Amino acid sequence: MSVLQTKGLTKQYAGLTAVSEVSLTVEQGQIHALIGPNGAGKSTLVGMVAGRTEPTSGEVWFEGENVTPLPAHARIRRGMAYTFQITAIYERLTLAANLELALRDRSREKAIAALDRVGLADRADQLAGDLAYGHQRLLEIAMGVAQSPKLLILDEPTQGLAESEIAEFNTLIKSLAGDTTILLIEHNMNVVMELADRITVLETGSVLAEGSPDDIKSNPDVQEAYLGHAEA
Amino acid sequence: MSKSLALHLGLIAILIIAGLVLPAYHQGNLARILVLATYAVGYNVLFGYTGLLSLGHAMFFGAGMYGLGLAMQHGGVAALPAFGIGLLAAAALSAVVAVLALRTIGVAFMIVTLMFAQSAFLTVLYFGEWTRGDEGFVLQQATRQIAGLDLTNPLIRYYAALTLFAAALLITARMMQIRFGHILIAIRENEERTTMLGYNTQAHKFAALVISGTLSGAAGAAYALLFGYVGATFTSVQYSIFPLLWVLLGGAGTTIGPLIGTLFMFYLIDYTSGLTNAYLLIVGVVLVLLTLFARAGIMGEVRKRFAPWLP
Ligand SMILES: Nc1ncnc2c1ncn2[C@@H]1O[C@H](COP(=O)(O)OP(=O)(O)O)[C@@H](O)[C@H]1O
Ligand SMILES: [Mg+2]
């Protein structure tokens, strides 16, 4: 069963087509990676999925329902969770308060448990803004994971993380595998190859290729357009 | 009992005692301050907790004042139901303004609220036949009573003002402890993040504006009832700026900051105007010093430095 389907999703900005006719299916329980060069339209695409960005045309179907008319907050209520490419946390609130808001439940215990999943439980009473950048990133991921979403959207979660933190991130995401469906935008090809069940390659707003990691690795178009640069 | 409840009840207890021991002059001042502080408490809900800066709250204060005043003066309505009419007028006006102004954010929101308030001010002048415009009108002493209590009696007036303030304080303090209040703070801190955590931020901002406007209207209605005068000055831009200053001074986003700020500013003006004609200069200098050295306002600094638990 597919959790998410986009049908001909298109976004035009004045004179620029950021996303063009993207039809994408994300299967239940899979980690679906979205890769492509900067400016390919990845963030815009997931923005339309989560309801942050209104599509110019096309539809978003979530769990078999057309959610295109729903505002972002209603889609989140239905089981999407979204982490921003540019870290978006409550800097002047404590880590525990950040998690309590994410959980939509004021249980401190649950907040601590969620922080523990990214190794930040001992900092529960610090202000989020006082954390190092990598830790802020992890906090935001924890806020997404804590919601036990049906679909977790991660926009370049490992950007700015140290190697050791990336390893922890991989472990965390693997622990969700099977239950949570994940749509993962990721530049780090090691992370993609390690985690993804399926990969969609986006270039200048359109789908260039889609398939298993092995398919993508051996796809000449992709090597030409993207992997070639990444590995260079 | 939580620290925060103890603080609020303690403050109310002090104010109860103050009513009995203060000399008449200060008792009169404090009654006025308590009503104006209620206005500031209302303003703080929107500005301090939700992070929306309105430059037009005088229209809500005025809606309460004129709702009550016109009903009593021209409708012959008794004080208590007239107070209810004042509240309804403020609630209705804030709902209308919320629907329209909340389409904007930031500076545009400030300008839209300012324009609405200006229109409200001009409306008051336009209907001068009933409102008596700038000159205003006086509410007859005999009508200013509720349940046989004569609100023109200084002691009764003081406790009526205190009752209003205590109710506003306890309601907002409670509101900020429950989930609703936490969501308002979340909106202030990062609205987009809050939307993307599944909260209907627009609906919460609407509710915050209506609560804020209605509390401001309650203060306006009480002001007219307790001090017996209704006039257009109270809907002028000056009265939109005052609660912003009081709240900034006392500490935006703190429960008791609005009272501290109103009290401080009232006595600062009272004291300096007795010393010199250039008292506004002194007031200005003090305000500048406070914004330089106590950015978070008086209670905001106290919270930062000594009492992080302060609500
Ligand atoms: N709000 C916007 N207004 C105008 N152009 C935008 C806006 N957001 C994104 N774009 C443009 O759309 C294209 C796709 O951007 P984006 O989705 O952020 O790409 P990616 O996430 O793949 O790097 C880029 O050319 C970007 O400049
Ligand atoms: Mg992006």
- Can you spell out the DSSP letters for A169-195? HHHHHHHHTTTSEEEEE---HHHHHHH
DSSP character for A219?
A: -
User: What is B202-263 written as a DSSP string?
Assistant: HHHHHHHHHHHHHHHHHHHHHHHHHH-EE-GGGGSTHHHHHHHHHHHHH-TT-SSHHHHHHH
Ligand 1, atom 5, lies closest to the CA of A13
Q: Are strands B137-138 and B229-230 parallel, antiparallel or unpaired?
A: antiparallel
Which carries the bigger pLDDT value, residue B287 or residue A108? A108
Q: Are strands A80-83 and A151-155 parallel, antiparallel or unpaired?
A: parallel
Query: Would you place residue A232 in the very low, low, confident or very high pLDDT band (cuts 50, 70, 90)?
Result: very low
B197–A72: do the CB atoms touch at under 8 Å?
A: no
Query: Would you place residue A97 in the very low, low, confident or very high pLDDT band (cuts 50, 70, 90)?
Result: very high
Nearest to A204 by CA among A226, A227, A182: A226
The Cα angle at residue A128 between residues B41 and A99, in degrees rounded to 5: 80
Q: Which residues surround ligand 2, an ion (CB under 5 A)?
A: A 43, 85
Least Cα separation, residue B185 to chain A (angstroms): 9
Answer yes or no: are the C-beta atoms of B234 and B242 closer than 8 Å: no
Q: How much distance in Å is there from the Cα of A42 to the middle of ligand 2?
A: 6
Beta bridge partners of A152: A81, A182
> How confident is the model at residue A226, as a pLDDT?
64
Neighbour tally for B153: CB within 10 Å = 13
How high does pLDDT run on average in chain A?
A: 92
Which ranges in chain A belong to alpha helices (H)? Answer: 42-50, 72-77, 95-103, 108-116, 133-146, 163-176, 189-195, 213-218, 220-222, 228-231
Nearest to B124 by CA among B246, B245, B239: B239
So where are chain B's domains?
3-236
Which residues 6+ apart lie within 8 Å of A83 measured at CB?
A140, A141, A143, A144, A152, A153, A154, A155, A157
> How confident is the model at residue A231, as a pLDDT?
45
Separation between Cα atoms, residue B296 and residue B288, nearest integer Å = 13
> How confident is the model at residue B128, as a pLDDT?
86
Provide residues of A within 8 Å CB-CB of chain B.
Answer: 50, 52, 71-74, 76-77, 82, 84, 88-93, 97, 100-102, 104, 106, 143, 147
What would the pLDDT profile of B128-172 be if each residue is shown by its tens digit? 889 998 889 999 988 998 988 999 999 999 999 999 999 999 999
Token pair, residue B118, equals: 């200006």
User: What is chain B written as a DSSP string?
Assistant: --HHHHHHHHHHHHHHHHHHHS-HHHHHHHHHHHHHHHHHHHHHIIIIIT----S-THHHHHHHHHHHHHHHHHH---HHHHHHHHHHHHHHHHHHHHHHHTTS-HHHHHHHHHHHHHHHHHHHHHTHHHH-TTT-EEPPGGG-EETTEETTSHHHHHHHHHHHHHHHHHHHHHHTTSHHHHHHHHHHH-HHHHHTTT--HHHHHHHHHHHHHHHHHHHHHHHHHHH-EE-GGGGSTHHHHHHHHHHHHH-TT-SSHHHHHHHHHHHHHHHHHHH-TTHHHHHHHHHHHHHHH-TTHHHHHHHHHT-TT--
Mutate to test the interface with A, among B193, B199, B303 (most CBs of A within 10 A): B193
Q: How many CB pairs under 8 A join A and B?
A: 55
B197–A101: do the CB atoms touch at under 8 Å?
A: yes
CB-count exposure of residue A86 (10 Å: 0-12, 13-18, 19+): exposed
Which residues 6+ apart lie within 8 Å of B277 measured at CB?
none
Q: How much distance in Å is there from the Cα of A15 to the middle of ligand 2?
A: 19
Full domain range(s) for residue A61: 1-79+183-232
Asked if B254 is an interface residue toward chain A (Cβ–Cβ < 8 A), one would say no
> How confident is the model at residue B61, as a pLDDT?
98
Separation between Cα atoms, residue A121 and residue A135, nearest integer Å = 12
Separation between Cα atoms, residue A93 and residue B232, nearest integer Å = 42
Q: Is the pLDDT assigned to residue A227 strictly greater than 70?
A: no
Residue A20, ligand 1, Cβ within 6 A: no
Residue A8, ligand 1, Cβ within 6 A: no
Q: Could you give the dihedral angle defined by the CA atoms of residues A167, A171, A173 and A175, in that order, rounded to the nearest 10 degrees?
A: 180
- Which of B189, B197, B199 is facing A93, going by the closest CB pair? B189
- Is the Cα dihedral B110, B113, B117, B118 positive or negative? positive
Residue A13, ligand 1, Cβ within 6 A: yes
The residues of chain B scoring below 50 in pLDDT are none
Give, in order, the Cα–Cα distances in Å from B192 to each of B76, B195, B233: 49, 5, 38
Neighbour tally for A216: CB within 10 Å = 26
Name the amino acid, one letter, at A191.
Answer: V
Mean pLDDT along residues A97-113: 92
Q: How much distance in Å is there from the Cα of A42 to the middle of ligand 1?
A: 8
- Assigned domain for A141 exists: no
The proportion of chain A whose per-residue pLDDT surpasses 90, expressed as a percent, equals 82
Name the amino acid, one letter, at A115.
Answer: L
Token pair, residue B196, equals: 């993307």
- Assigned domain for A73 exists: yes
Query: Which of left, alpha, beta for B248 (phi over 0: left; psi -120 to 50: alpha)?
Result: alpha
User: What chain A residue is nearest to B181 in terms of C-alpha separation?
Assistant: A101
Residue A133, ligand 1, Cβ within 6 A: no
Kindly give the number of the ligand 1 atom that is closest to the alpha carbon of A37: 22
A88–B193: do the CB atoms touch at under 8 Å?
A: yes
Q: Looking only at Cα atoms, what is the longest distance across chain A?
A: 51
Which of A77-86, A102-111, B153-162, B204-213 is the least confident region?
Answer: A102-111
Separation between Cα atoms, residue A155 and residue A83, nearest integer Å = 6
- Judged by DSSP in three states, A76 sits in helix
Beta bridge partners of A155: A185
Name the amino acid, one letter, at A103.
Answer: L
Ligand 1, atom 12, lies closest to the CA of A18
Mutate to test the interface with B, among A48, A90, A107 (most CBs of B within 10 A): A90
Within 165-184 of B, beta carbons closer than 8 Å to A belong to: 179, 182-183
A72–B196: do the CB atoms touch at under 8 Å?
A: yes
Residue A35, ligand 1, Cβ within 6 A: no
State the CATH number of the domain containing residue A196. 3.40.50.300
Token pair, residue A145, equals: 């994971």
> φ and ψ at A212, to 5 degrees?
-75, 165
Answer yes or no: are the C-beta atoms of B42 and B259 closer than 8 Å: no
Token pair, residue B110, equals: 């400030």
Number of domains in chain A: 1
A100–B185: do the CB atoms touch at under 8 Å?
A: no
